[in-house]
């Protein structure tokens, strides 16, 4: 491993090794087998049972590639990688691992429950056990109210939650969560973090990838920082992040004279040291979550006084109607004068086109009628032709008589 790598003491060294990577390398090649990207470049790391390890790094640093090798979805180009002491491709491992992919692929026509039930069935669980687990998981990830909604209708955050539930369906000993908080609102992020803490309490081993540092900071025992496929730092959060050159003392608000006395003591003890006194800050996330929780509590009280009617209505709502309302609202266009004029012009053009078509149709009909007269008409026309012929014959004879009276034979 490179010397620049900041290596802190590994936590929980006495526990069994779950993941061991030595010189792990992955080179992606192009069509002509030429090296295209060295996604993971000779990395060494270990993950031990019960640890929550954060795999951090900017975009393209090799996090997902590492994760895919752990799952046996990608073959390493070099090095040695074992998971539970076996090859990542070992079938036995599949039962022990839960995976939340970077992008959750869901069958959009299945409901939340059916989705989980489908994944549960892949693990050969009985019907009762599947139903029990699915309901518990839906409750756990905050989707119990959306149990029967097709996942195709889900928001990004909801899809992430169902993905998380899916990763836990087989109650795996080792969870690999690739960007679990991506697409989640701060409240969702908080819930995922709480969930990871809960998993840790239950003795699970977890690898979380993220570039949202605050997410990782709160839940991970250890972080591995990747950059350009190489490990830049690997160690316990405490060891890596503690600034040992300073101290922070948090006390209740002090009167000015007490503060001055403390300043005096510090000046005497560290004459050249810089000192600052400030009020501690709460994080923006805590602030946001407090506000939303407060608002939620108020609405809960309101719905409580209505005996939870609102929730029952939502759950038993007509799904097709709901979907249509959502679709209509998404496709509805705002009325503007220009749009109204355009609409009128379109209507006029359609009307003119309709009239022209009708005229053409009438003309065609008339021609067809003329070409194929009715039998009675045909008969009377023949009679008329015969009469006309007789009349013309009579006229001719009369003309002959008048012009050549001498030629008269009778």
Ligand X SMILES: Nc1ncnc2c1ncn2[C@@H]1O[C@H](COP(=O)(O)OP(=O)(O)OP(=O)(O)O)[C@@H](O)[C@H]1O
Q: Which residues bind Mg ion (CB under 5 A)?
A: 63-64, 102
The item of Mg ion, ligand X, none sharing an interface with residue 28, based on CB under 5 to 8 Å by kind, is ligand X
Closest separation in Å from C-beta 102 to Mg ion: 5
Of residues 25, 41, 61, 115, which one binds ligand X by CB under 6 A?
A: 61
Q: Which is nearer to Mg ion, 55 or 81 (CB)?
A: 55
Q: Which of 64, 166, 181, 234 binds ligand X (CB under 6 A)?
A: 64
Compute the least distance from the CB of residue 96 to Mg ion, in Å: 23
Find the DSSP H helices in 141-212. Answer: 156-167, 186-201
Q: How far is the CB of 57 from ligand X (least distance, A)?
A: 5
The interaxial angle of helices 127-140 and 112-122, nearest 10 deg, is 130
Could you count the other beta carbons within 10 Å of the beta carbon of residue 388? 10
Angle at 202 between CA 128 and CA 114, to 5 degrees: 30
Nearer to ligand X, 169 or 184 (CB): 184
Between 37 and 240, whose beta carbon lies closer to ligand X? 37
**# residues near ligand X by CB under 6 A:** 14
Q: If contact means CB under 5 to 8 A according to the sort of partner, which of ligand X, Mg ion, none does residue 248 touch?
A: none
With respect to ligand X, which residue has the nearer C-beta, 147 or 211? 211
* Closer residue to Mg ion, CB minimum distance, 134 or 177: 177
Of 64, 7, 72, 6, give the one whose Cα is nearest residue 40. Answer: 64
Residue 65: name its binding partner from Mg ion, ligand X, none (Cβ under 5 to 8 Å by kind).
Answer: ligand X
List 65, 93, 111, 166, residue binding ligand X (CB under 6 A) = 65
Backbone φ and ψ of 7, nearest 5°: -115, 115
- Is residue 36 involved in binding ligand X (CB under 6 A)? yes
Give residues with Cβ within 8 angstroms of 300, minimum separation 6. Answer: none
Indicate whether 50 belongs to the interface with ligand X (CB under 6 A). Answer: no
**Least Å from the CB of residue 64 to Mg ion:** 3
Least distance (Å) from ligand X to the CB of residue 192?
A: 17
Which of the listed partners (Mg ion, ligand X, none) does 57 bind, with a CB threshold of 5 to 8 Å by partner kind?
ligand X
Name which of 125 and 177 has its Cβ closer to Mg ion: 177
Which of 77, 79, 89 shows the shortest CA–CA distance to 33? 77
Q: Which residues contact 343 (CB under 8 A, 6 or more apart)?
A: none
Of the residues 14, 31, 34, 59, which one makes contact with ligand X according to CB under 6 A: 59
CB of 59 or CB of 403, closer to ligand X: 59
**Nearest Cα to Cα of residue 164 among 301, 151, 153:** 151
Q: How far is CA 193 from CA 63, 84, 141, 159, 212, in A?
A: 19, 25, 11, 17, 12
Task: Give 61 or 170: the residue with its C-beta nearer to ligand X.
Answer: 61
Residues 6+ apart with CB under 8 A from 203: 49, 50
Answer for the pair 224, 45: CB distance below 8 angstroms, yes or no.
yes
When asked if residue 98 is in the footprint of ligand X (CB under 6 A), the reply is: no
**How many other C-beta atoms are found inside a 10 Å radius of the C-beta of residue 291?**
11
- Closest contact distance (angstroms) between CB of 64 and ligand X is 3
| Distance in Å from the first CA to the final CA of the chain | 141
Residue 11 makes CB contacts below 8 A (sequence gap 6+) with 48, 51, 221, 222, 236
Taking CB under 6 A as the binding criterion, the range among 1-9, 58-66, 126-134, 381-389 that sits at the site for ligand X is 58-66
Q: For the segment 193-222, give every residue that binds ligand X (CB under 6 A).
A: 211
Q: Which residues bind ligand X (CB under 6 A)?
A: 28, 36-37, 39, 57, 59-65, 102, 211
């Amino acid at each position: 491993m490179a010397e620049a790598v900041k290596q802190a003491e590994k936590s929980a060294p006495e526990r069994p090794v779950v993941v061991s990577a030595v010189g792990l390398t992955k080179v992606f090649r192009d069509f002509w087998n030429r090296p295209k990207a060295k996604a993971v470049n000779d990395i060494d790391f270990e993950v031990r049972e019960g640890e929550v390890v954060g795999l951090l790094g900017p975009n393209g640093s090799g996090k997902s590639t590492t994760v895919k090798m752990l799952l046996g979805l990608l073959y390493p180009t070099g090095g040695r990688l074992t998971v539970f002491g076996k090859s990542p491709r070992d079938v036995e491992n599949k039962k022990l691992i839960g995976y939340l992919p970077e992008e959750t692929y869901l069958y959009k026509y299945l409901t939340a429950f059916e989705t989980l039930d489908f994944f549960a069935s892949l693990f050969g669980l009985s019907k009762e056990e599947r139903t029990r687990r699915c309901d518990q998981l839906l409750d756990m990830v905050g989707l119990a109210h959306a149990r029967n909604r097709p996942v195709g209708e889900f928001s990004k955050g909801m899809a992430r939650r169902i993905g998380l539930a899916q990763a836990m369906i087989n109650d795996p000993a080792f969870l690999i969560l690739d960007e679990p908080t991506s697409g989640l609102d701060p409240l969702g992020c908080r819930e995922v973090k709480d969930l990871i803490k809960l998993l840790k309490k239950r003795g699970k081993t977890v690898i979380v990838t993220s570039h949202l540092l605050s997410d990782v900071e709160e839940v991970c025992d250890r972080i591995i920082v990747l950059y350009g496929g190489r490990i830049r730092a690997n160690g316990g959060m405490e060891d890596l992040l503690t600034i040992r050159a300073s101290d922070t003392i948090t006390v209740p608000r002090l009167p000015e004279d007490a503060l001055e006395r403390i300043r005096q003591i510090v000046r005497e003890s560290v004459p050249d040291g810089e000192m600052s006194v400030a009020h501690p800050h709460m994080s923006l996330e805590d602030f946001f979550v407090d506000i939303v929780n407060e608002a939620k509590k108020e609405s809960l009280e309101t719905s409580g006084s209505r005996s939870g009617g609102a929730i029952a209505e939502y759950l038993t709502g007509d799904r097709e109607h709901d979907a249509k309302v959502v679709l209509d609202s998404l496709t509805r266009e705002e009325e503007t004068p220009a749009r109204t004029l355009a609409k009128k012009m379109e209507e006029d053009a359609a009307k003119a086109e309709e009239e022209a078509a009708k005229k053409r149709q009438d003309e065609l009909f008339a021609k067809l009628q003329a070409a194929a007269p009715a039998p009675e008409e045909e008969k009377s026309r023949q009679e008329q032709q015969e009469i006309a012929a007789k009349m013309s014959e009579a006229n001719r004879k009369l003309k002959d008589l008048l012009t050549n009276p001498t030629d008269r034979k009778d």
